[in-house]
Amino acid sequence: MPQVMEFKLPDLGEGLTEAEIVRWLVAVGDVVAIDQPVVEVETAKAMVEVPCPYGGVVTARFGEEGTELPVGAPLITVAVGASSLPAEAPAAQADGAEGEGAGNVPRPLIGYGEDHSRPARRRRVRPVTAAVSAPVVAAPAAPAVPVAPAAPAGPVPVISPLVRKLAKDGGVDLRALRGSGPDGLILRADVEAALAALRAPEPAPVAAASSPTAAQGERIPLKGVRGAVAEKLSRSRREIPDATCWVDADATELMAARAAMNAVGGPKISVLALLARICTAALARYPELNSTVDLAAKEIVRLPSVHLGFAAQTERGLVVPVVRDAQNRNPESLSAEFARLTELARAGKLAPADLTGGTFTLNNYGVFGVDGSTPIINHPEAAMLGVGRIIDKPWVHEGQLAVRKVVQLSLTFDHRVCDGGTAGGFLRFVADCVESPAVLLRSL
């Protein structure tokens, strides 16, 4: 006999607590294989296809496209052991049973690990009303508050422990609700509607109902990548006492060195890769800037490896992919990795691991046609090097006024990890390498 298994939104890693449904890859009644992707979700870090650890027939989907779900909320239910969906079968059942046979044992979700924190329990929800809703479970846009005339006897039709907790914290009696889900299942939207009704203020007089300012302006939800960026930058401003120093540098010799490298054939070397290699050499001299502050322990932690982040603008907003162990890479390897991560970023296919763990950031805002900036440090890092556009400017070279290719470099740093002398020394070394790339040979 088929066993209905509920698959919840897994922990996608790196402290993510919620995700938005972008696109369903299966429909109710579809047959899915173990580890087959069933939904595409957008987290604060990346777009992710979520595979299902069960094989069978999809009996219900929880949430429409555009719905934001917390980690642990139900995604779909699958009838394990069924080859097709029976016509008389209910649209959704709450059956988190531990399988008795090998085919019913939940497999670990690929890439997310297995949860051993609590044993599996078997629980079946029986309908409390005769009404059966559509198989696809969706939270209505503005649900009414369906209150039954009397509290029915028997078990309360709730699957999600999050729904139970939400009701308990808000003082909502679940027995007094009639669920809008399959077989009267009480959904989060039902509880939220009841809470909204409880908290709703008395209706204001008609004359004062319309506010001239409330209706003006477009409201854009601060969520997804934009929300994550806002939270991270706000935290950086709250916690990090940053300072910025800058210098103009003659990049003529650096551009000539790049042209010579690319003239010999092979993969092209980017300017960003050369600047990244200069950064890793500078961080070897000034390791204070490749560190983080542990507020709980009141310690500065100097990090042994340089995981170099670089700012990339995409349709989803600003993201900062990370090149691992950049100190061990040459310009050719750095160019290839920058190109690979940039392509994934623009396609929205970066994994959460590609966007976390950075220790220092290189920000090339020259691509936007600007000369300088005072960027906000990418928390919890300690510094960021900014690079402006490289343009022809009058410059005194060997005692003569000449037109040279000039760039502005700026360093924003956490004043807790070092003083101005260290920051100035770092930036001066970077500028010297830009002006005379042969200086870099001393540290290779």
The answer to whether the beta carbons of residues 148 and 176 sit under 8 Å apart is yes
Residues in the chain with pLDDT values less than 70: 1, 13-16, 44-45, 82-156, 158-162, 200-215, 443-444
* Measured distance CA(38)–CA(189) in Å, rounded: 23
Q: What's the pLDDT score for residue 103? A: 42
Q: What's the pLDDT score for residue 46? A: 72
Find the farthest-apart pair of alpha carbons in the chain and give their distance in angstroms, rounded.
95
* Measured distance CA(122)–CA(246) in Å, rounded: 63
CA 13 to centroid of chain Cα atoms: 9
- Per the DSSP assignment, residues forming a β-bridge with 291 are 302
* H helix intervals, 308-444: 331-347, 420-435
Backbone angles phi, psi at 282, to 5 degrees: -70, -40
Within a 10 A sphere around the Cβ of 442, how many other Cβ atoms?
8
Active site residues: 415
3-state class of 301 per DSSP?
Answer: strand
CA 410 to centroid of chain Cα atoms: 28
Q: What's the pLDDT score for residue 170? A: 80
The answer to whether the beta carbons of residues 159 and 74 sit under 8 Å apart is yes
C-alpha distances out from residue 170 to 197, 244, 275, Å: 11, 48, 55
Q: What's the pLDDT score for residue 176? A: 80
Reported pTM: 0.60
* Measured distance CA(167)–CA(53) in Å, rounded: 29
The answer to whether the beta carbons of residues 67 and 20 sit under 8 Å apart is yes
Q: Is the peptide bond before 37 cis (omega within 30 degrees of 0)?
A: no
Within a 10 A sphere around the Cβ of 59, how many other Cβ atoms?
26
